[in-house]
């Protein structure tokens, strides 16, 4: 391990308001201001509290326009699922629009629409989120609706029968008929044996077909409770008023115990794994995943931040190494990327992949991608490369403030993976602190072929070869 010097110029304070608010005044990113010559800007101001029933509430005022986002996130996703019921979190997410005793099926979205808003929901491996964006005067009504379906969902056989078909169509659309999506699905399934990250979020087809309403009912009772949820409000609100509203609407919901989550640790991989997907396509495609550490402790960990920088050095911008060398330089690839997400409730993969250029092969691209990692392991990276990327991290964080939804998603996401919403600001600092030698060091140490999984797309023609077109040699028994 290489030692790291923390450049800690950030300040923070946690002030306490009268009624139990913790309000961490923004961390002033002075460092950033100094190096970038941009005006110091305060990091986000977020008001945090927890209701007595366990619901965590995060409120982030952004009063540029009379618009507000409510995002309610439940810590349940495909990572919580087991064989036989894969896809259940996502299927339940669909069923959440099917009504309660006081709100008829479909009425939820009609009310959001009548309020001038839009709504949707999403499921990831780690959590499930429901959101509405509405004129700020409509927030109380949105809270009433969202609180209602936290504990009063009505699950009917009839609605379920139809929605199951919808989700099956969704799986066809997203995965079955998309060659590269099949490759991604196969990579996760091959890379992970015990970790539920092996399952697709949408679920395996046969599980979707055999899921029962009773499965959904128990999933709902198990995970949809205030203690397993975080409410995020971003937009044109007075934080105290918004908190009062949250108390009023969500406060009465009864607390319930959250089931124990058994850890399902992925065993060490003891050798490379390879798979081939044959599906209609024109161009071969390659996806590789190395098992690498994920982020556990923001202040203590170093590897995840160095890996983040490594991915960025390889494909963080137009002039990153893979684009410059493999796409524009040697032309082994038409497309090449590296990616790494350090956050997640399950294990992490460092991904490399792309599409070989015409006349090249997936095998040649694989060799070229590995060679790029090896080169960094041997020779390291230039300080200028990191400096350029640091600016981009800071800039994209500034740009992100333009979108209420992006801000809400970030807060919810960090809460749901267990890092806490404050992580975003600290992670930016930690990424910016990464030294060239640390990048070299992870490139040298963490890319062990024994933890590698490779999936290759073998493209198949879309026109079925008709018997007439077959060469005679293929029909030895044909009579004339």
Active-site residues: which are they?
93
Q: 130 vs 250, which CB is nearer to other proteins? A: 130
Number of other residues whose CB lies within 10 A of the CB of residue 305:
23
Q: What is the DSSP string of 211-254?
A: --HHHHHHHHHHH-SGGGEEEEEEES--HHHHHHHHHHHHTTSP
Does position 42 interact with other proteins (CB under 8 A)? The reply is no
Does position 140 interact with other proteins (CB under 8 A)? The reply is no
CB–CB of 47/20 below 8 Å? Answer: no
**Calpha distance 154→66 (Å, rounded):** 33
Q: 90 vs 377, which CB is nearer to other proteins? A: 90
- Which 330-349 residues touch other proteins, going by CB under 8 A? 331, 334-335, 341, 344, 348-349
- x/- contact string, 144-163, with other proteins (CB under 8 A)? -----------------xxx
Does position 357 interact with other proteins (CB under 8 A)? The reply is yes
**Calpha distance 405→409 (Å, rounded):** 6
Q: 173 vs 255, which CB is nearer to other proteins? A: 173
Of 45, 46, 51, 61, nearest to 20 by C-alpha is 51
Burial grade of 479 (CB within 10 A; 0-12, 13-18, 19 or more): exposed
Among 83, 177, 238, 244, binds other proteins (CB under 8 A): 177
Among 29, 31, 57, 67, binds other proteins (CB under 8 A): 67
Does position 7 interact with other proteins (CB under 8 A)? The reply is no
Q: 399 vs 437, which CB is nearer to other proteins? A: 399
Phi and psi, residue 201, nearest 5°: -60, -40
264 Cβ contact list (under 8 Å, min separation 6): 194, 195, 196
- Beta pairing, strands 13-16 & 22-25: antiparallel
With contacts defined by CB under 8 A, name the span among 44-52, 277-285, 372-380, 472-480 that binds other proteins: 277-285
Give, in order, the Cα–Cα distances in Å from 80 to each of 86, 88, 198, 201: 9, 10, 11, 10
Does position 104 interact with other proteins (CB under 8 A)? The reply is no
CB–CB of 251/62 below 8 Å? Answer: no
Does position 468 interact with other proteins (CB under 8 A)? The reply is no
- Minimum Å distance from CB 36 to other proteins? 6
Does position 122 interact with other proteins (CB under 8 A)? The reply is yes
450: tokens are 């024994």
Among 55, 103, 237, 281, binds other proteins (CB under 8 A): 281
Q: Which helix (H) or strand (E) holds 140?
A: helix 139-151
Among 173, 255, 276, 363, binds other proteins (CB under 8 A): 173
- Minimum Å distance from CB 477 to other proteins? 26
Among 47, 97, 220, 421, binds other proteins (CB under 8 A): 97
Does position 314 interact with other proteins (CB under 8 A)? The reply is no
Among 81, 236, 410, 429, binds other proteins (CB under 8 A): 236
With contacts defined by CB under 8 A, name the span among 11-19, 141-149, 248-256, 387-395 that binds other proteins: 387-395
Q: 4 vs 38, which CB is nearer to other proteins? A: 38
Among 156, 319, 330, 379, binds other proteins (CB under 8 A): 319
With contacts defined by CB under 8 A, name the span among 17-25, 143-151, 295-303, 318-326 that binds other proteins: 318-326
Among 44, 49, 123, 225, binds other proteins (CB under 8 A): 123
Give, in order, the Cα–Cα distances in Å from 87 to each of 8, 122, 186, 218, 451: 43, 12, 16, 14, 27
């Amino acid at each position: 391990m290489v030692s790291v010097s923390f450049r800690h110029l950030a300040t923070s304070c946690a002030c306490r308001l009268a009624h139990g608010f913790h309000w961490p005044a923004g961390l002033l990113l002075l460092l950033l201001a100094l190096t970038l010559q941009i005006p110091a800007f305060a990091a986000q101001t977020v008001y945090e509290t927890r209701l007595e029933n366990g619901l965590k509430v995060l409120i982030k005022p952004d009063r540029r326009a009379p618009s507000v986002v409510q995002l309610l996130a439940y810590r349940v996703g495909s990572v919580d699922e087991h064989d036989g019921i894969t896809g259940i979190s996502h299927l339940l997410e669909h069923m959440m629009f099917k009504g309660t005793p006081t709100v008829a099926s479909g009425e939820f979205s009609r009310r959001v629409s009548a309020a001038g808003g839009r709504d949707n929901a999403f499921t990831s491996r780690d959590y499930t989120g429901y959101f509405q964006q509405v004129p700020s005067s409509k927030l109380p009504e949105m809270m009433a609706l969202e609180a209602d379906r936290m504990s009063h969902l009505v699950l009917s056989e009839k609605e379920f029968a139809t929605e199951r078909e919808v989700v099956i169509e969704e799986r066809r659309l997203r995965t079955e008929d998309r060659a590269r999506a099949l490759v991604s699905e196969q990579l996760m399934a091959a890379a992970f044996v015990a970790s539920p990250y092996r399952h697709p979020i949408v679920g395996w087809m046969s599980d979707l077909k055999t899921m029962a309403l009773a499965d959904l009912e128990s999933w709902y009772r198990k995970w949809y409770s205030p203690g397993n949820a975080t409410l995020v409000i971003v937009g044109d609100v007075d934080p105290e008023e918004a908190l009062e509203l949250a108390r009023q609407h969500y406060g009465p919901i009864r607390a319930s115990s959250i089931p124990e989550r058994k850890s399902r640790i992925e065993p060490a991989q003891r050798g490379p794994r390879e798979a081939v997907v044959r599906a209609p396509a024109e161009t071969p495609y390659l996806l590789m995943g190395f098992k690498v550490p994920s982020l556990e402790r923001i202040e203590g960990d170093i590897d995840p931040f160095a890996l983040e920088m490594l991915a960025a050095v390889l494909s963080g911008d137009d002039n990153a190494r893979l684009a410059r060398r493999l796409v524009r330089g040697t032309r082994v690839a038409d497309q090449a990327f590296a990616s790494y997400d350090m956050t997640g409730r399950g294990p992490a993969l460092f991904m490399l992949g792309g599409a070989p250029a015409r006349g090249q092969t997936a095998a040649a691209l694989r060799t070229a991608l590995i060679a790029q990692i090896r080169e960094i392991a041997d020779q390291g990276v230039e300080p200028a490369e990191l400096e350029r990327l640091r600016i981009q991290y800071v800039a994209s964080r500034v740009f992100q403030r333009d979108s209420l939804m992006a801000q809400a998603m970030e807060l919810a996401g960090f809460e749901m993976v267990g890092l806490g919403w404050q992580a975003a600001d600290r992670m930016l600092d930690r990424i910016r602190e990464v030294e060239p030698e640390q990048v070299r060091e992870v490139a040298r140490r963490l890319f062990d072929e024994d933890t590698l999984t490779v999936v290759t797309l073998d493209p198949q023609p879309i026109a079925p070869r008709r018997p007439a077109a077959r060469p005679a040699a293929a029909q030895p028994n044909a009579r004339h």
